[in-house]
Structures are given as C-alpha cells and as structure tokens.
C-alpha cells in the first residue's frame, strides 16, 4: 500500500463553515490558546460548529455511581440507567464547560444537545441487541445549526439523539459530528483528539500519515493498525466524505493554533480524503 501526501482541498470553503469534533480524550488538556484561536477564526468570518464527546468523563461518573460500563466495538453498552449518566455528563457538565471556555476567551457560544429542537434524530443501531440504547443518526435539523450561527454564536452540540416517540439515544460523538457535517454541508470536519494523527508503524517506528484515502483506511483497519477509538473516527469520515464534505482532518488539540493552521492548509495531522 502506498500512502502519498495528497494536497488539501476545500478547507473551510468560501462560507468559512467547518465542523470540529472535540474528543473527551483531549478536552481537559486543551490550552486557553485553542479557544483564543477559535475566537479569532470566528471574528475573521469563519463559522465553526462544535460537536463534542466526553467518553472518559462518562466512565468516571459511572464508576463513581457504581454502575458497570463496557464497550462493544467502540460503542458503550447503554441501558436507561447508563443513559441518565451519559446525558447528564454530555449535555450538562461537558457541554457547559466548553461553552464557558469559549465565552471566557471572548467568544459567543450556545450549547444544545441533539434532543433540543429534535436537532439530531436517531434510530437504534443495527447491533442494538448487543449495545442497547445506542443510536445512529436518522436526521439533523440543519436550520437550527445555521440559525445559531446566524445569531453570531458557535453551536456546541452534545451527541444525544431522540426519536419521534421521545426515546433518547447515546450516539458516538464522531458519528454525530460526521452527520452534522453532512447535513449542514460543511466542506471539512476537523477531528481534535489526543494523538498527532493516524499513525502506523514503518521500520519499527510510529509515523503520522499525512493523508489517507477512504480505500486505504479499510486496509489499515484490516491489518490492525487502526483500532479502538480511532475506528469510529475513520468510519464517520468514510460515511461523511461524500457530497459537500471533501475532507476529514485528524489532529492533536495540543498543537499550537491547530485550527487556523489546518484551515490554512498546513500539513498537520492526517487528512482523510476520497
Ligand atoms: N492508527 C492509529 N493512530 C493513532 N491513534 C490510534 C490509532 N489506532 C488507534 N488509535 C487510538 O485512538 C485513540 C483516539 O481515540 P479516542 O481515545 O476515542 O479519542 P477521542 O476521545 O478524542 O474520541 C488514540 O489515543 C489511540 O490510542
Ligand atoms: C455510543 C457511545 O459509545 N457513545 C459515547 C459518547 C461520547 C463519545 O463518543 O465521546 P468520545 O468522543 O470522547 O469518545 C460514550 O458513551 O462514551
């Protein structure tokens, strides 16, 4: 398999619209300068949309409450009892912590979960017999996202979905972010995590792949070089890289001014392209 660098394509496009997924692995470690960079991007006419995770915080809260938690293929087995903690953590403390950090940097943010205004509608995943109340996205009310942007706020979205009967679902944050990017027609999605990109071992050394195509990803999953928490990211990328979403970039949130550098097309992290 050859993995040649591929030139960056759309970045934020003319609209300045981009979706950023922020993983629970990195949220607490994000420096204040990350939010200053975000604020400056917003001031210069970009339209950031944030979808966040919070897996480690959910696991911590479940442990404190003595509720058992386990994952099947990267998805948390979710009962109603677990879902109470998932919703409390994602839509509550994590969502509001991000909103507060943006506001403290001088930016304007409005936090919602996928439940608010039926923003993210969901249905049970195919393997719901194994994982319980985990959802896949059946729709996104794009006009809520664009409406929040039009008011001058950065939408901060927690990945909890709802169906027509009012049933809640736990949605993997990478999956939710990819769906939001698709439905709002964002040219790119930036996945901010705790590693410098998608890595593989070459001559016994770990190297970051500057770019990978959707076809190459399958081989990397097959040979075990992509595993665990990276799997939902690349699967979400494969699902959303079509239509208007032309690239998904996986980057480390601790890299200085990572968002503006990625949007300028700098070779940082891994770009997943068609
Ligand atoms: N090929 C790979 N390159 C880089 N990281 C990988 C790879 N395969 C698996 N991973 C794992 O994926 C993790 C990121 O996923 P996860 O912990 O779920 O983060 P997040 O909370 O940001 O969603 C990395 O810390 C690393 O352990
Ligand atoms: C179904 C499922 O597994 N949902 C995730 C939602 C949070 C998430 O995805 O957070 P990260 O991005 O930090 O991993 C969970 O319960 O942990």
Query: Which pLDDT band, with edges at 50, 70 and 90, does 9 fall under?
Result: very low
Whole-angstrom Cα distance, residue 181 to residue 247?
11
Atom of ligand 1 nearest to the CA of 25: 21
91-109 burial code (b ≥16 CB/10 A, e <16):
beebbebbbebbeebebeb
pLDDT digits (tens, 9 = 90+) for 95-143: 999 999 999 999 999 999 999 999 999 999 999 999 999 999 999 999 9
Decide: 225 in ligand 1 pocket, CB within 6 A.
Answer: yes
pLDDT digits (tens, 9 = 90+) for 192-226: 999 999 999 999 999 999 999 988 999 999 999 99
Share of the chain above pLDDT 70, in %: 95
The count of other CB atoms within 10 Å of the CB of residue 127 is 12
Whole-angstrom Cα distance, residue 178 to residue 209?
21
Distance of CA 106 from the midpoint of ligand 1 (Å): 31
Give pLDDT, residue 13: 63
The larger pLDDT score, comparing residue 224 to residue 14, is at 224
The count of other CB atoms within 10 Å of the CB of residue 54 is 27
Per-residue pLDDT averaged across 23-32, rounded?
A: 92
Decide: 24 in ligand 1 pocket, CB within 6 A.
Answer: yes
Distance of CA 21 from the midpoint of ligand 1 (Å): 13
Decide: 229 in ligand 1 pocket, CB within 6 A.
Answer: yes
Distance of CA 107 from the midpoint of ligand 2 (Å): 26
Decide: 198 in ligand 1 pocket, CB within 6 A.
Answer: yes
pLDDT digits (tens, 9 = 90+) for 154-193: 999 999 999 999 999 999 999 999 999 999 999 999 999 9
Give pLDDT, residue 271: 97
pLDDT digits (tens, 9 = 90+) for 221-274: 999 999 988 999 999 999 999 778 999 999 999 999 999 999 999 999 999 998
Whole-angstrom Cα distance, residue 255 to residue 249?
13
Give counts: helices (H), strands (E), the chain: 10, 16
Helices (H), 88-241: 95-104, 128-131, 142-150, 173-184, 214-222, 230-240
Nearest CA to ligand 1 atom 19: 25
The count of other CB atoms within 10 Å of the CB of residue 261 is 16
Atom of ligand 2 nearest to the CA of 173: 9
What is the CB < 6 Å shell around ligand 2?
A: 23-25, 53-55, 58, 75-76, 86, 134, 159, 170, 172-173, 229
Nearest CA to ligand 1 atom 18: 229
Residue where the block lists tokens 């204040």: 32
Decide: 53 in ligand 1 pocket, CB within 6 A.
Answer: yes
Atom of ligand 2 nearest to the CA of 71: 3
Give pLDDT, residue 162: 98
Ligand 2 binding pocket mutation candidate from 19, 24, 72 (most atoms within 8 A of CB):
24
Distance of CA 148 from the midpoint of ligand 1 (Å): 31
ipTM of the complex: 0.97
Nearest CA to ligand 2 atom 17: 55
Atom of ligand 1 nearest to the CA of 200: 1
């Amino acid at each position: 398999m050859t993995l040649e660098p591929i030139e960056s394509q759309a970045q934020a496009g003319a609209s300045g619209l981009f979706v950023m997924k922020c993983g629970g692995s990195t949220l607490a470690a994000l420096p204040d300068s990350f939010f200053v960079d975000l604020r400056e991007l917003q001031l210069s006419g970009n339209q950031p949309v944030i979808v966040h995770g919070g897996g480690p915080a959910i696991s911590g809260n479940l442990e404190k409450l003595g509720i058992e938690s386990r994952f099947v293929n990267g998805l948390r087995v979710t009962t109603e009892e677990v879902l109470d903690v998932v919703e409390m953590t994602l839509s509550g403390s994590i969502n509001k912590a991000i909103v507060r950090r943006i506001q403290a940097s001088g930016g304007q943010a409005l936090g919602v979960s996928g439940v608010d205004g039926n923003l993210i509608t969901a249905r049970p995943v195919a393997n719901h017999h194994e994982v319980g109340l985990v959802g896949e996205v059946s729709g996104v009310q794009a006009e809520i996202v664009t409406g929040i942007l039009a008011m001058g706020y950065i939408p901060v979205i927690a990945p909890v979905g709802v169906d027509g009967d009012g049933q809640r679902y736990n949605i993997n944050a990478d999956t939710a972010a990819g769906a939001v990017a698709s439905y709002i027609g964002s040219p790119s999605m930036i996945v901010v995590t705790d590693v410098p990109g998608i890595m593989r071992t070459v001559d016994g050394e770990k190297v970051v792949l500057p770019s990978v195509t959707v076809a190459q990803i399958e081989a990397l999953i097959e040979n075990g070089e992509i595993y665990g928490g990276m799997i939902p990211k690349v699967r979400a990328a494969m699902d959303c890289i079509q239509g208007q979403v032309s690239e998904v970039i996986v980057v480390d949130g601790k890299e200085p001014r990572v968002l503006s550098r990625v949007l300028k097309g700098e070779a940082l992290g891994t770009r997943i392209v068609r």
